[in-house]
Structure 1
Amino acid sequence: MKYLCVLFLVLLFVRISAQQDNYFEKWYNADECKLPQNTIKSIVKDKFGFIWLSTDDGIARFDGKNFLTYDVNIPSVENRTLLIEGSADDDWLFTFYNSGEIPSLISRRGFSVISDKNSSSFKKLKPYGEENLWKLLKETSEKIKKGRYYFFITKKEFYYIDHYRLFYQKDGKSRFIRDLNDYTYFRFFILGDQLFYLKNPSLIEKIEKTGEIKQCQTGITEKEDFEFFINTANKQLLIMNNNKVYVIEYKNNTILSTQICDSKTLKNLSITCMYYDHTTRTLILGTVSQGFLVMRKNFINTYSAPNQTIFNAIAPYSNKEVITGDGDIFNSNGYVKTLPFPNKDPYGILPLNDNAGFILKNEHSLILWSQGKARTIRNFGKKTVVRGISNTITGNKIWVSLASDKDFIGYIIIENQKIIKEKFYAINVPVRGITQVNNDELLLTAHNGLYLFNEKKSTRKTLIKNKTFRSINNNGDNLFWVQTYGKGLYLYKDGKIYEPPQKNNVLSAIHSVIDDGLGYYWLSSNKGLFQVKKESLLNYYLHRNAGIYIYKYSRKDGLLTLEFNGGGNINGLMHDGSIIFPSMNGMVYINSRNAFPVTSGKDYYLDRIAINEKEKNISGTLSLENNFGYVKIFVDYTNFGHQGNDYIEYQIDDNKWQPLSDNKVISINSLTNGNHEIHVRKLKDFSSDYHYKTLHVFVKPAFWETALFRLAAIVVLLLIFYSFYRIRLKQIEKESFILNAKIDERTRELKETIGSLSKTREELYAQLYRQKKLVAAISHDIKSPLKFINMSTEILMDTIDDGYYEKKVIGSIRESSAQILEFIDSTITYNKIFIYDNYKTRENIMLRNFIFQRMRLFENTAEFKSIQIQNNIGSSDVLISNPDVLSIVIHNILDNAIKYTDQGFIYIYGITNECRYHLVIEDTGLGMSEEELKQAEDFSGSRLGMKIVKELLPLIDVSFNIESKKGEGTKMILTFTV
């Protein structure tokens, strides 16, 4: 028992210590960021929210992420600065270089060194230089203490002491207040518009404008580490005492000392200056050699049980405590104890009415925990699995979903630790989450959809199908938030389901939506913890607003993990003023009444740019040269919290909105000449409204794009065209004269040519007449004797018996004479074709019979050479062509085929291919080599017959092709268009 007590005390100490040290802390130094130097002399927040730091190596402006540094840029002057003083409210801050000799001004978020001794700014600021040095050094010699020192309320209203005499000045009018002998100048400070003096840690004097001095107690007892830090520009007094930091405020005529920090980190720090931001509750401490530290007490705490860090379902245990499905009890200070729950199932716990105990979900049963004991109140058997229980009790009904061979939902009613009634319904869907919507209806989530069950009618209605839904939570109103497995957050309200308006990664995996009663929802998910304004989220769903500001918390805010759990019947709740969520690493407590999310500054600025890495400030329209190179537009704003909560986009002209990069820079490397608009919009904190700004950009045209250049170019072109016109006109006149002379000459030559052509025509007519006479002579004088020979041989054939050799010879004579007659007819026909142009006539040709007629002329020759000619043309094949020309062509082809074939075959057949008809005459004769084939195709070296074929085929629109191999025969293909 002794050891258990010791262990308990150790755990308690560790928990309390962890709670005291629950601060966000981040160091900034010259080694890890762009801070110019690690000795910080003063920290001041300007009117626009930017932090200014004076160091031993220049001035730096800090926006929460990035530093903008400034140097003195005077070769003979060190970059060492003094204190930053002035009035931040008036946007009038100043510091000094060279031990107070060279002033510099901080105004409109910019910094400038005033080195011109004749300027009015130099003359106004120079008197404050020496006192600035003494305030930094805190010199206490009598001579220095008698000097003049200023304490500004505004730029034109201030106090000052001179030789221990206090004065008040406003609008150029000064009046004496009183003597303050032996008062130390660096203990005066301003709060509001009142002057105070720090007498000691427990006593502050208020010095009225009438000269009256009132003493105010601080309630602080001085310790060894007591130090005070006066920030004149921000009108602050901060006291560090006993390792704690207090901010001194004056409210309702009373001095208040509020503890703002109690961190062990402060111990042994050499602190030089402080600034406390009331809005973000952030403390910034400057040090001698370590840079500066940003601190903020977290309002989120994470607690663990001794043997447990992963938690699921939770429920209220008492007015100030919650309990988990494992039996672990927590309050706002951390872990309390663990109840010995049997058969632990961390995913289901439901408190009974009137503090009668808890119903615990088990695999096959429901367990009642009451009065420190557990017992099974309902066993469903090993074949039935308890899939889920409801997250609320309505009318003493506890709803349960079961899975066996069928899926069921039902309820039990418990009184006096006994089930007095139960009823179950076959539901036929695997229900996981159950929530009572009204007296008759329940909202059901399942792996295959979202359903509405009417208990009174025992009916099930499908709201959404084919999506995996997980759980439901309600905050006691008519809004039911339905969670899914990565498919978004749904809203059920007044009988209507609202889907996520658009794809939103933040809302894709929400586990619970808790109303803090202060106008905000807190959302847990497996991607983090989020806060959103209730009104904005509802408008996002109900009215489909385009934008929504959702604040994301990080580990720096007190979380040990960003993954929360959502598998239980209750995944989050509001209890005793705290929002409580179970997570994968601890129970998360959120002090919602003291929550202060650190958002970015309300305003942002577009007046700083860099052209090719050379920075400058602009006002109004940004004017760029045509070949400007590379432009950076800095979007300046402050954010001392989580940088991922900046919702800023930009648009160039009418292009698509783009998210601003993490470095807060809009980069442009190409713009056409002319006017452009760069639009920037920032989503207002916890709102659906945007804050828009527009930067007008003008890109100067190149010299060739200016109106003057274009006008000059047009004039020059017109002059060139006119010059060309004049030159061309003269050239045309000259050419016209030469042309007329040539025309006259050509006219004479043409007359001579016409005369010569007329004579030639008469000669041609005479030749044609003689050719006609020749054809007639051939027809009469040659054909007649041949016909007589042919007739005579026929008579002789009839008088000679068949067995005699003479009859065979006479038959050959008859055939030869017939061939000669046919050749003469073909020759005559060939000549008539060209003489009388009768090749143009076309008629239908029955091709098979036409081929037979041509074959008869070669029967004897073929028989003599033992050649068989086969006519395989179809009986229905008809061609439209000139029969005279086609007859001559086929005659010549057959003649060649017989001539180069011995004891073989000649095949004649047709092939129809689409709109073509191919007439093929194929022999098995000698064939041709490649060289012979090439000569045959271009008819170089060919004999008269093939040359005639070449001349005649184009007349009847027939193409040809020759295929042949040496020793295998020749194939002649005539192609007709059908």
Structure 2
Amino acid sequence: MHKHIFLIFLLACFKVYSQQYNIQLYNTDNGLPQNSVKDIIKDKYGFLWITTENGIVRYDGANFLVYKNFPLNSQRFTYFYGSPDKDSIFSTGGYGRIILLHEKKPTVYENNKKNQNFISKDNIEYFLYSSNYSYGVVPVNYYMKLKKGMYYLKENFLLYKSYHTKTEEKLKINPFHENIPRIFAINESVFFLDIRNQKVKQIEEDNIINSYHIPLLTDRKSKIFWNQINNQVFILNENTLYTCRYETGQLKITPLMQMSNNIKKDNLISIYYDEFYKKLYLGSSTDGLQIISFSEFTAIKSPKSHSIFYSLLPFSSSSVITYWGEVYDRNGFITDKKFKDTSPFFMDYDQNRNIIVRNEGHAMIYKKESSYKNFISLPIKDFFINGFFYDENRYYAIIVKPGKNGTNQFYGMLAVYKDTSFNSLEKKIIFNDEPTRFLRINRDNMLVGTIKGLYKVSLITNKAHLIGTDEISIRNIIKSKNGNFWITTLGKGFYLLKNDRLIKMPRDSNDNISSAHTILEDSNGFFWIPTNNGLYKVLESQLLKYAQDQSFKVNYYRFSKDSGFNTNEFNGGSNVCSAKLENGEFVLPSLDGLVFFDPLKIKSYYPENLYVERCLVDNQELYFKNNLYLDQESDRIEIFIDAPYFANPDNMVIQAKLSGNPQKKWQLIGKERKFSISNLGYGNHILTVRILVSDTGKFIYKKVNIIIPPYFYQTFWFKIIIFLILSFLLYFLVKWRLSFLKKKNYELERVINLRTKKLSDTVEKLETTKIRLHKEIEQQKKLIGTITHDITTPIKFIAHTAKEILEKEEFDQKLTEKILHSIYKSSDQLYNFTITLKEYADIYSHREDKTEFYSLYQLIEEKRILFSTIAENDNTAIINNVNPFLQTQISKNILAVILHNLLDNSVKFTKNGTITINNTLENENIILLISDTGIGMDEKKIEYYTKLQDNIESEKLLLQKYGMGLHLVLQLLQMINSKIVFEKNKLQGTSFKLILTNKKND
């Protein structure tokens, strides 16, 4: 029974238009191992797989990865079968051997009953039928596998066997026509093409449930391309390719494309359509792989010879008008208003929707009321309009004039008119450089761009203020919906104007955006930026974040010629270099056509995942999961980053970094998609890879642990053992060293102590000597000063007396005796001073600090003999009772002078008496007691000399009154650290008690 249901056959009402597409051809010259592409499928991970007669190829959108060294007798492969969802895809190789595609790589799979590509039933062999590549001229029996059962295709019938009931049912149809199966499956429905009856019959399990009249499917000229694993059916008829789908109980046939002569279609044997990326893959038996990329961009060329477009204006809700007066929509040329000799760089609407254009020497206004056929001309001499806009009260224009002396320099002005006409100029603001664009900020201020900078102009003061200091050539000034002002420049990038400050936006990876022409904003907050090398898309919100934080990463999405343009170079330089249409489309002029597109329909493609599972170690390929185990001998490691992505590779952002340096920046991975490592040390390293997956800057991450085991001598336990051994060695070495050092220190301390003692003694002696010398010097100064003073008086007296004698003419005897007596006394006093001073000087001249012992008795005896003659004249005896065996080291010279003076003093004042010298010992001191029986010293002298001895450094010397003798004695006693005690004897005379500090022999 044939039951007709509604069939949506879109061919009857569908107009095939010249859809924009781009063709890429791959063969053995650029990636394929062989030019016969037998089958094309996509796995669950997003990779494309291709069978050829020289291996299996994996394609990720940028690179072909060829597998052809399988351990098989042949590397020829035909079709794929299996289940991509279950990650089990098979292909048959030489002599029935099977290749399994699993986890993104192919391996040889031993044949089993479940996945055989041929089976035997009732002694008849059936070959798997899952692709119309099985077409042949030799009669062959086939079988088809569906979820609920299996179909056997024989020449006169179709046999269905249920998996569940195991029952078999024959359908009396002939599935072959001219030995070719005329049957295909979509989901669980089988469709039989009844060529004779021009019917398409739908079969489910063992029943024919529907019958369709679809001439396109039953047309003998139609070529059917079916692939069960892709669940896709295509029809090629008279250069038009259709898709055939079964949806909501209806069979739908839709034209996909009109194949041009550029497409090699004669030997097509496999087709796959990627609806997500809008790409069609055509496999040929001789010409390799053709990839057809469809686009929502439409590039329209002029029917005339030229297709270079500059300024344009929206004309209707879906069309634009160019400076020639030509009107275009996305389907092509509509009409021509035939504007005459217009400049390509300026056109605009006035308040009445008239179109203002310019040519050399004129501004022409084409009237809307005449459908832009008629115009009025405004003569302009020596200047031209470069920009225009109006408000409800007046016109504003940028006027440019050429420089003087025939140079190429221009200057210009901002012209403000009194009303909405060019008749009366109200004010003008002059610029020394050529003005290019202007835009009103508010009622009182405007922005004016020139070829050398951006100015803020006050319409109140008529003054222009330069914004920024860098010299930049302004291309365009745009105000976004949220009130931000954006500035594009010639070669210097584009800027955000904020608080009268220009903030430069980041460059793209190729620095194409440095020459942005303009900015168009869509309703989703995206900016569309045409440049000299492609069209860029970016979120305004990202740019604003960058303006606040320059470390923020801005992601530009690039559309290139592969997206549907005729050229990558868009045009700017005109006052209006883009158009927004009421139907939502944007229109951009380029060097080769007008580009129409709806920004809300243009999709940004990003990878959905990435895989880091392959590497090349010293030219040997390895596969791994999350952990990569390497050894230290590996010289160079290349880790491949696989990411199926079938759009513009410029928009794939892959970055990687290796652990160990937290400050290291992300490294951008190139189009080769590999991360190279060399000389990586042992240990656990983490490779982190990330890939951009959205316009908002979202990344997904993948981490790989790279584990490089250490050599035995690099292991922790080896280091511990070595550490312990070295510690023990160090311990014993330190212990031995300490013992050695203690011994050396002991010896050293002994030597040091000895030398320190000697040094201390020397220092002490030096210090004592220093003090002594200081005292001596001071006393010498004092003594010499006093002597000098006391000598002066007698000398002066002698001189005065001699003068007095010379002046007298007569002398009496008494006066003469008196004068001579005075001269005698003064001379004698002077003589005594001199003798004493000589003795004192002799001590220093002949002073020796010798340590030899000498006899004190003998020294005194010498002095006794010296004075004995004088003493005997006065009937005085000198008695030496000193111990004859007493030895001393006291300075002999000094002690001799002391004794000389004391004995001289005693002899001088003793008459008819005795002078006795005795000695005693008290501790280390020698006590010499010199006693006489003379007239004795009075108490004042004793008090004076006692006080002087205690304060000899500060007391004043009375040499003239008391003489030099005892003063000298006191000085000399100081030098030998000794003292004298003056005592009056009880009966008569004076005793001198010398307390001498005796030196001992060390």
Match of 1:425 in 2: 428
The alpha-carbon deviation at position 286 of structure 1 amounts to 1.0
Match of 2:306 in 1: 308
Describe how 1:32-43 pairs up with structure 2 within 5 A: 32-43=29-40
Contact kept, 8 Å, 2:130 with 2:228, in 1: the verdict is no
Q: Which stretch of the first structure deviates more once superposed, 106-115 or 710-719?
A: 710-719
Match of 1:564 in 2: 570
How many equivalent residue pairs? 702
Give the whole-Å Cα distance in 2 for the aligned partners of 1:94 and 1:85: 5
Describe how 1:123-272 pairs up with structure 2 within 5 A: 123-126=113-116, 131-132=127-128, 136-138=133-135, 144-145=140-141, 147-151=142-146, 160-161=151-152, 164-167=158-161, 169=163, 179=171, 181-184=173-176, 186-192=181-187, 194-199=189-194, 204-208=200-204, 211=207, 213-216=209-212, 218=214, 220=216, 225-263=221-259, 264-266=261-263, 269-272=266-269
The alpha-carbon deviation at position 485 of structure 1 amounts to 1.6
Deviations along 1:906-952, one digit per CA (max 9) or x if unpaired, are: xxxxxxxxxxxxxxxxxxxxxxxxxxxxxxxxxxxxxxxxxxxxxxx
- Counterpart code for 1:244: T
Deviations along 1:365-421, one digit per CA (max 9) or x if unpaired, are: 533222323333364x43xx335213x544374421235698532344877xx6576
Give the whole-Å Cα distance in 2 for the aligned partners of 1:425 and 1:151: 82
Match of 1:486 in 2: 491
The alpha-carbon deviation at position 197 of structure 1 amounts to 4.0
- Counterpart code for 2:451: H
Give the whole-Å Cα distance in 2 for the aligned partners of 1:45 and 1:19: 29
Alignment partner for residue 722 of structure 2, among 713, 720, 724?
A: 713
Describe how 1:622-701 pairs up with structure 2 within 5 A: 622-653=628-659, 654=662, 655-701=664-710
**Is 1:446–2:436 an aligned residue pair?**
no
The 1:435–1:723 alpha-carbon spacing in structure 2 relative to 1, beyond 3 Å, is closer
Give the whole-Å Cα distance in 2 for the aligned partners of 1:730 and 1:440: 96
Contact kept, 8 Å, 1:527 with 1:563, in 2: the verdict is yes
Match of 1:549 in 2: 555
Give the whole-Å Cα distance in 2 for the aligned partners of 1:429 and 1:289: 66
The alpha-carbon deviation at position 224 of structure 1 amounts to 6.0
Give the whole-Å Cα distance in 2 for the aligned partners of 1:366 and 1:408: 17
The 1:33–1:453 alpha-carbon spacing in structure 2 relative to 1, beyond 3 Å, is same
Alignment partner for residue 349 of structure 2, among 348, 351, 357?
A: 351
The 1:498–1:328 alpha-carbon spacing in structure 2 relative to 1, beyond 3 Å, is same
Match of 2:815 in 1: none
**SS across alignment from 1:53:** strand
The alpha-carbon deviation at position 569 of structure 1 amounts to 0.8
* Structure with the larger helix share: 1
The alpha-carbon deviation at position 454 of structure 1 amounts to 4.7
The alpha-carbon deviation at position 61 of structure 1 amounts to 0.8
Give the whole-Å Cα distance in 2 for the aligned partners of 1:222 and 1:689: 50
Give the whole-Å Cα distance in 2 for the aligned partners of 1:533 and 1:197: 51
The alpha-carbon deviation at position 137 of structure 1 amounts to 3.1
Contact kept, 8 Å, 1:36 with 1:69, in 2: the verdict is yes
Give the whole-Å Cα distance in 2 for the aligned partners of 1:134 and 1:253: 23
Contact kept, 8 Å, 2:692 with 2:700, in 1: the verdict is yes
State the superposition RMSD in angstroms: 4.1
Describe how 1:336-485 pairs up with structure 2 within 5 A: 336=334, 339-342=337-340, 344-355=342-353, 357-362=354-359, 366-370=363-367, 371=370, 372-377=373-378, 379=380, 381-382=381-382, 385-386=383-384, 388-390=386-388, 392-395=389-392, 397-403=394-400, 407-412=412-417, 419=422, 422-426=425-429, 428=431, 430=433, 431-455=435-459, 460=464, 462-468=466-472, 469-474=474-479, 478-485=483-490
The alpha-carbon deviation at position 268 of structure 1 amounts to 5.3
Contact kept, 8 Å, 1:167 with 1:174, in 2: the verdict is yes
The 1:315–1:722 alpha-carbon spacing in structure 2 relative to 1, beyond 3 Å, is closer
**SS across alignment from 2:252:** strand
The alpha-carbon deviation at position 248 of structure 1 amounts to 1.2
The alpha-carbon deviation at position 209 of structure 1 amounts to 5.6
Give the whole-Å Cα distance in 2 for the aligned partners of 1:173 and 1:532: 59
Give the whole-Å Cα distance in 2 for the aligned partners of 1:726 and 1:578: 91
**SS across alignment from 1:511:** coil
Contact kept, 8 Å, 1:166 with 1:180, in 2: the verdict is no
The 1:167–1:717 alpha-carbon spacing in structure 2 relative to 1, beyond 3 Å, is same
- Counterpart code for 1:512: T
The 1:173–1:62 alpha-carbon spacing in structure 2 relative to 1, beyond 3 Å, is farther
The alpha-carbon deviation at position 543 of structure 1 amounts to 7.2
The 1:624–1:490 alpha-carbon spacing in structure 2 relative to 1, beyond 3 Å, is same
Contact kept, 8 Å, 1:216 with 1:254, in 2: the verdict is no
The 1:728–1:393 alpha-carbon spacing in structure 2 relative to 1, beyond 3 Å, is closer
Percent of aligned pairs sharing the same letter: 23
Give the whole-Å Cα distance in 2 for the aligned partners of 1:593 and 1:227: 36
**SS across alignment from 2:696:** coil
Deviations along 1:741-768, one digit per CA (max 9) or x if unpaired, are: xxxxxxxxxxxxxxxxxxxxxxxxxxxx
The 1:141–1:289 alpha-carbon spacing in structure 2 relative to 1, beyond 3 Å, is closer
The 1:96–1:491 alpha-carbon spacing in structure 2 relative to 1, beyond 3 Å, is same
Deviations along 1:191-246, one digit per CA (max 9) or x if unpaired, are: 34544444569854433468451234557376664211111111111111111111
Deviations along 1:816-859, one digit per CA (max 9) or x if unpaired, are: xxxxxxxxxxxxxxxxxxx99xxxxxxxxxxxxxxxxxxxxxxx
Contact kept, 8 Å, 2:160 with 2:205, in 1: the verdict is no
Deviations along 1:325-365, one digit per CA (max 9) or x if unpaired, are: 3444433233455555455322110023444x211245665
Give the whole-Å Cα distance in 2 for the aligned partners of 1:413 and 1:19: 51
**SS across alignment from 2:363:** strand
TM-score by length of 1: 0.64
**SS across alignment from 1:708:** helix
Deviations along 1:780-811, one digit per CA (max 9) or x if unpaired, are: xxxxxxxxxxxxxxxxxxxxxxxxxxxxxxxx
Q: Which stretch of the first structure deviates more once superposed, 706-715 or 436-445?
A: 436-445
Alignment partner for residue 75 of structure 2, among 74, 79, 93?
A: 79
Contact kept, 8 Å, 1:516 with 1:579, in 2: the verdict is no
The 1:374–1:432 alpha-carbon spacing in structure 2 relative to 1, beyond 3 Å, is same
Alignment partner for residue 511 of structure 1, among 511, 514, 517?
A: 517
Contact kept, 8 Å, 2:447 with 2:454, in 1: the verdict is yes
- Counterpart code for 1:478: G
- Counterpart code for 1:565: N
Match of 1:866 in 2: none
Contact kept, 8 Å, 1:316 with 1:322, in 2: the verdict is yes
Give the whole-Å Cα distance in 2 for the aligned partners of 1:312 and 1:301: 14
Give the whole-Å Cα distance in 2 for the aligned partners of 1:545 and 1:723: 58
Deviations along 1:79-106, one digit per CA (max 9) or x if unpaired, are: 122210112233221111234x222211
The alpha-carbon deviation at position 715 of structure 1 amounts to 4.8
**SS across alignment from 2:504:** coil
The alpha-carbon deviation at position 730 of structure 1 amounts to 13
The alpha-carbon deviation at position 272 of structure 1 amounts to 0.9
**SS across alignment from 2:517:** strand
TM-score by length of 2: 0.63
Give the whole-Å Cα distance in 1 for the aligned partners of 2:162 and 2:104: 29
Give the whole-Å Cα distance in 1 for the aligned partners of 2:184 and 2:441: 61
Contact kept, 8 Å, 2:199 with 2:218, in 1: the verdict is no
- Name structure 2 gaps, 5 residues minimum: 1-14, 120-125, 404-410, 748-846, 849-1002
Alignment partner for residue 50 of structure 2, among 50, 53, 69?
A: 53
Q: Which stretch of the first structure deviates more once superposed, 19-28 or 536-545?
A: 536-545
